[in-house]
Structure 1
Amino acid sequence: MAMPPKPPETRSPGQTSRPARRVLAPLALAQFICSYAGSNMNVMINDISKDLDTTVQGVQTVITVFLLTMAALMIPGGKLTDRYGRKRCFLAGLTVYGVGAALSALAPGLGVLALGYSILQGVGTALLIPPVYILTTLLFPDVTSRARAFGTVMALGGIGAAAGPLIGGLITSAIGWRAAFVFQAAVVALIIVLSRHVRDPLPPEPDRHFDIGGAVLSAVGLVLVVMGILAADDNGWLTAGLLALGALVLVWLLRWVRAKERSGREPLFSTSLFHDRTSNLGLVTQHAQWLMLMGVSFVVAAYLQVVRGYDAIETGAIFTAATLGILAASLAAERLVKRWPQRTLIVVGFGVTICGIGLLIAMASGSPSVWAFTPGLLLIGLGLGVMLTPSVNVVQSSFGEERQGEISGLSRSVSNLGSSLGTAIAGTILVADPAAGPYAVALGVLAFVGLGGLTAATMLPEQQPGA
């Protein structure tokens, strides 16, 4: 008598199969290296500017363009996963990223560094990050196991962003800033090897339409907005013109998408993604979180090097407090989501982060001691670690499997736009005159953004722990 086929996977809520757990290693490492790439440059500002005979503002622009490239291409990257498959896009992104890291390590000038780091690594990240979140969502179906999985991914992402200055500082001081890019290429090679365990749970759809016009409009609009902010300290009229033009292009994008929907053709993203109030509020919190994280990282790193005269390793060591805070809070994500509603965790996270920024301003700006930065950075790390995972979980869980490509791209685009704006806004204020006054003003702006995120978090619907 023939036995009935065995289900492909049986597990109780909160449990995951061994293959699914193995998949987490390359996915989490991928998030780590991309977050690391966005922050490790902050401690190499002086070394790169001297070696390549450029300015601090030139290096800031390269960093911001990297973050901006990710934000501008993340939505198209998410859509491409539906057409070509999640694993294929993941591996393609890793390859492009690795080539960019190798080119950056050999860069003879700022232009080649911008090509390798800002463009190639940015494009590679936009291709590989959406699959990380799509696969995590699909492989972990219930809230508790998904919280554990996203906790791991976000923990390594947060550690990459917070520990980037320390790791980059150690490598730069011991070998040189170019070795920091060799390190990235080596990690990418390791991820590719580990990716043999990754299996795409959904088949690709090679005949699926890709909205090239929408992708171009979204990228151009976002680029104009962020470049307008970067130009704020040079030319007010140029800033106003770029911002206005960027807004017009984004309005054009919205009209383009609606026209596509009315004609029955598939647009870059569906406007129905914005019809879910919970998801919208979650996206606002994600944007604010990454804006604060990358903004604080750039401002504090630039201040310590330019004003205090600290070298790369000293600057990186100071960020250890934030790294430990993010690590401790993110690894506790599973236990926290079982005990507390996700809204509560996000609200508490914003509150703690804002207090950390306030403490950083109060203590660090007036004290010559390096330890004056530790309490504020620790609170910032704890606050961000508490809310990074539930914010992602709120957004991803608002849509079914068929919408994961769209929402993952949108979610990562919003987060990376926050990262680029954090560096652009806070960096523009500080680079104008990186003394104690502008330093406090830049951090004050970040705290104000945190208040906006806190307001959005209080409007999220109440849910039972573990629901």
Structure 2
Amino acid sequence: MTEAVTSERPPAGRRALAPLALAQFICCFAGSNMNVMINDISRDLGTTVHGVQITITVFLVVMAAFMIPGGKLTDRYGRKRCFLVGLTIYGVGALMSASAPGLGGLILGNSILQGVGTALLIPPVYVLTTLLFPGFASRARAFGVIMAMGGLGAAAGPLIGGVITSGLGWRAAFVFQALIIVLIAVLSRALDDPLPPDPNRSFDTGGAVLSAAGLILVVVGILAVDNNVWLAVVLLALGVLVLAWFVRSMRAREAAGREPLLSTAVFRNRTANLGLVTQHLQWLLLLGTSFTVAAYLQVVRGYNAVETGVVFSAATLGLLVSSLAAERLAKRRPPRTLILAGFALGVGGIVVLITMVNSFPSAWAFAPGLLLIGLSLGLMLTPSVNVVQSSFPESQQGEIAGLSRSLSNLGASLGTAIAGTILLAELTTSTYAAAMITLAAIGLLGLLTAAFLPGTAVPTGGEGDGA
């Protein structure tokens, strides 16, 4: 890579940052804003809380299932082209959701089309950021902006969605998403793709089918626990077997000299593997907590969409505070320290959410715990993403971006599925506490995982640590 190319990249990166950050915002917004529409959608479409939970979870699992193939397609067809196709599919899905006559239409528009659109447009966000911002420090700043926007979308989703739902109806929230997509498409004219696409690069269709099927079976199995335990066990077992088949097919393709969907080399980088686990657990914690608190407030406490959204403003405030300090903290502390602090704050926030809610009837009893959740999210999202992306060279950015976002969205879908399965068995204060205790245990697992990360910054391109 020449010095001339490197010197030209920061301006191109700065021009690209706005559409990339907005794309991250709207996709994360879509994953959390429906949590405050549970009662409104249930009444309007003649469904149940469980039906809305399935819609949210299917959206997240479709993203997870197709994110790895989506990342791989960026190498073959180009980052910008995949980004624009993803925007188009997402926008069509948003408009279909806004006009859905029933739950099936909502699942098709939101869960399927918006899920597939997200799977196509998010990997280019991570690949382009990594390519356009050389060096760990500049990349950390760029990812800081993008992850702050993503975290803001996830944390402020309930508030923005609640205001729109209360003022204009839940369908208007999907129109809002479509309008943001149009804005991103206009801003995307400034996007430059530093690497040319390789149309001759092979695509592992069989691996894509196996990975998607395995992930879907696992999440559907968790959702089925509430209705049929034996069916859930069968689906989970099938999911594990299909994923094992996928791993075996990857190794077979490599042994035969053919390119698999995922190179087995990406799993030999210890630092990146630990970073991937922390990303998975972060999103599991966030979306699980968001769904649990939102469902409890609306169904048990009887709050409307805007009241629920206002309560979640505490999480948004926490996220903004920690995100604004993220760049300064990244210069003073290694990623491991920030991720450890994030998980510690997250677990502390869940403990506060359990104790305060049981002790005080006011809605503001939720504020301290949600504030800590927001602070934790802003602290750890950026360093964990930067650790993973910076561990690999340019040639592997497509597949690691797909794997990274797949595991994050799988965490989000599992968080909603696990918490929802516990909570919706019989929605009471006791099941609320049980769901939150489960999420706290998952947060402790994240804390333990982060403790094994290296204490210093990761070299760009994975120059160390067995890449």
* 1:23 Cα offset (Å): 0.6
* 1:466 Cα offset (Å): 10
Please name the residue that 1:198 is paired with: 191
Please name the residue that 1:375 is paired with: 368
Query: Does residue 386 of the first structure (1) align with residue 379 of the second (2)?
Result: yes
* 1:142 Cα offset (Å): 1.3
**CA–CA distance in structure 2, aligned partners of residues 278 and 216 of structure 1:** 28
**CA–CA distance in structure 1, aligned partners of residues 457 and 405 of structure 2:** 26
Letter of the 2:53 counterpart: Q
Choose the corresponding residue for 1:67, options 36, 40, 60.
Answer: 60
Given that 2:155 and 2:312 are in contact with CA atoms closer than 8 Å, whether structure 1 keeps it comes out as yes
User: SS state of the match for residue 17, structure 1?
Assistant: helix
User: SS state of the match for residue 424, structure 2?
Assistant: helix
Cα deviation digits, residues 73-129 of structure 1 (max 9, x gap): 000000000000000000000000000000000000000110000000000000000
Given that 1:147 and 1:333 are in contact with CA atoms closer than 8 Å, whether structure 2 keeps it comes out as no
Query: Does residue 286 of the first structure (1) align with residue 279 of the second (2)?
Result: yes
Choose the corresponding residue for 2:417, options 413, 424, 429.
Answer: 424
Name the CA shift for 1:63/1:263 in 2 (closer, same or farther; >3 Å). Answer: same
* 1:7 Cα offset (Å): 2.3
Taking only the aligned residue pairs, the percentage that are identical comes to 69
Query: Does residue 396 of the first structure (1) align with residue 393 of the second (2)?
Result: no
**CA–CA distance in structure 2, aligned partners of residues 281 and 206 of structure 1:** 33
**CA–CA distance in structure 2, aligned partners of residues 365 and 52 of structure 1:** 33
Please name the residue that 2:200 is paired with: 207
Cα deviation digits, residues 316-346 of structure 1 (max 9, x gap): 0111111111122123221111100111111
* 1:290 Cα offset (Å): 0.2
* 1:170 Cα offset (Å): 0.3
Name the CA shift for 1:263/1:464 in 2 (closer, same or farther; >3 Å). Answer: closer
Equivalences, count: 459
Please name the residue that 1:10 is paired with: 7
* 1:21 Cα offset (Å): 1.1
Name the CA shift for 1:335/1:466 in 2 (closer, same or farther; >3 Å). Answer: farther
**CA–CA distance in structure 2, aligned partners of residues 406 and 191 of structure 1:** 24
**CA–CA distance in structure 1, aligned partners of residues 434 and 122 of structure 2:** 33
Choose the corresponding residue for 1:451, options 410, 434, 444.
Answer: 444
**CA–CA distance in structure 1, aligned partners of residues 424 and 434 of structure 2:** 12
Query: Does residue 152 of the first structure (1) align with residue 154 of the second (2)?
Result: no
What pairs with 1:223-238 in structure 2 (closer than 5 Å)?
223-238=216-231
Please name the residue that 1:107 is paired with: 100
**CA–CA distance in structure 2, aligned partners of residues 169 and 464 of structure 1:** 40
Question: Normalising by structure 1, what TM-score?
Answer: 0.96
**CA–CA distance in structure 1, aligned partners of residues 277 and 3 of structure 2:** 43
What pairs with 1:402-441 in structure 2 (closer than 5 Å)?
402-441=395-434
* 1:144 Cα offset (Å): 1.4
**CA–CA distance in structure 2, aligned partners of residues 22 and 325 of structure 1:** 28
Please name the residue that 2:463 is paired with: none
Please name the residue that 1:50 is paired with: 43
Query: Does residue 351 of the first structure (1) align with residue 344 of the second (2)?
Result: yes
* 1:10 Cα offset (Å): 2.6
User: SS state of the match for residue 27, structure 1?
Assistant: helix
What pairs with 1:325-340 in structure 2 (closer than 5 Å)?
325-340=318-333
Please name the residue that 1:306 is paired with: 299
**CA–CA distance in structure 2, aligned partners of residues 289 and 237 of structure 1:** 29
**CA–CA distance in structure 2, aligned partners of residues 141 and 444 of structure 1:** 41
User: SS state of the match for residue 204, structure 1?
Assistant: coil
Q: Unpaired runs of 5+ in structure 2?
A: 461-467
Quick check: 254-263 or 16-25, which moved more?
16-25
Letter of the 1:243 counterpart: L
User: SS state of the match for residue 7, structure 1?
Assistant: helix
Given that 2:391 and 2:458 are in contact with CA atoms closer than 8 Å, whether structure 1 keeps it comes out as no
Given that 1:339 and 1:466 are in contact with CA atoms closer than 8 Å, whether structure 2 keeps it comes out as no
Choose the corresponding residue for 2:255, options 223, 245, 262.
Answer: 262
**CA–CA distance in structure 2, aligned partners of residues 282 and 32 of structure 1:** 21
Following TM superposition, where does structure 1 have runs of at least 4 consecutive aligned residues deviating by more than 6 angstroms? none
**CA–CA distance in structure 2, aligned partners of residues 119 and 18 of structure 1:** 36
Quick check: 369-378 or 455-464, which moved more?
455-464
* 1:465 Cα offset (Å): 10
- Cα RMSD, aligned residues only: 1.4
Letter of the 1:42 counterpart: N
* 1:6 Cα offset (Å): 9.1
* 1:174 Cα offset (Å): 0.2
Query: Does residue 29 of the first structure (1) align with residue 22 of the second (2)?
Result: yes
Cα deviation digits, residues 18-75 of structure 1 (max 9, x gap): 3321211000000000000000000001100100001110110010000000000000
**CA–CA distance in structure 2, aligned partners of residues 128 and 397 of structure 1:** 20
Please name the residue that 2:123 is paired with: 130
Name the CA shift for 1:223/1:466 in 2 (closer, same or farther; >3 Å). Answer: closer
Quick check: 357-366 or 172-181, which moved more?
357-366
Query: Does residue 116 of the first structure (1) align with residue 113 of the second (2)?
Result: no
**CA–CA distance in structure 2, aligned partners of residues 129 and 332 of structure 1:** 25
* 1:366 Cα offset (Å): 3.0
* 1:9 Cα offset (Å): 4.8
Given that 2:6 and 2:134 are in contact with CA atoms closer than 8 Å, whether structure 1 keeps it comes out as no
Cα deviation digits, residues 124-145 of structure 1 (max 9, x gap): 0000000000011111111111
**CA–CA distance in structure 1, aligned partners of residues 19 and 301 of structure 2:** 38
**CA–CA distance in structure 2, aligned partners of residues 408 and 435 of structure 1:** 39
**CA–CA distance in structure 2, aligned partners of residues 136 and 109 of structure 1:** 39
Question: Normalising by structure 2, what TM-score?
Answer: 0.96
**CA–CA distance in structure 1, aligned partners of residues 152 and 83 of structure 2:** 21
Please name the residue that 1:167 is paired with: 160
* 1:364 Cα offset (Å): 1.4
Given that 1:357 and 1:380 are in contact with CA atoms closer than 8 Å, whether structure 2 keeps it comes out as yes
**CA–CA distance in structure 2, aligned partners of residues 330 and 288 of structure 1:** 19
Choose the corresponding residue for 2:310, options 302, 307, 317.
Answer: 317
Given that 2:155 and 2:316 are in contact with CA atoms closer than 8 Å, whether structure 1 keeps it comes out as yes
Letter of the 1:214 counterpart: G
**CA–CA distance in structure 2, aligned partners of residues 255 and 33 of structure 1:** 36
Please name the residue that 1:97 is paired with: 90
**CA–CA distance in structure 2, aligned partners of residues 365 and 145 of structure 1:** 45
Cα deviation digits, residues 337-362 of structure 1 (max 9, x gap): 11001111111111111101100111
Query: Does residue 143 of the first structure (1) align with residue 136 of the second (2)?
Result: yes
User: SS state of the match for residue 260, structure 2?
Assistant: coil
**CA–CA distance in structure 1, aligned partners of residues 305 and 74 of structure 2:** 38
Query: Does residue 219 of the first structure (1) align with residue 212 of the second (2)?
Result: yes
Query: Does residue 81 of the first structure (1) align with residue 81 of the second (2)?
Result: no
Given that 1:338 and 1:465 are in contact with CA atoms closer than 8 Å, whether structure 2 keeps it comes out as no
* 1:8 Cα offset (Å): 4.0
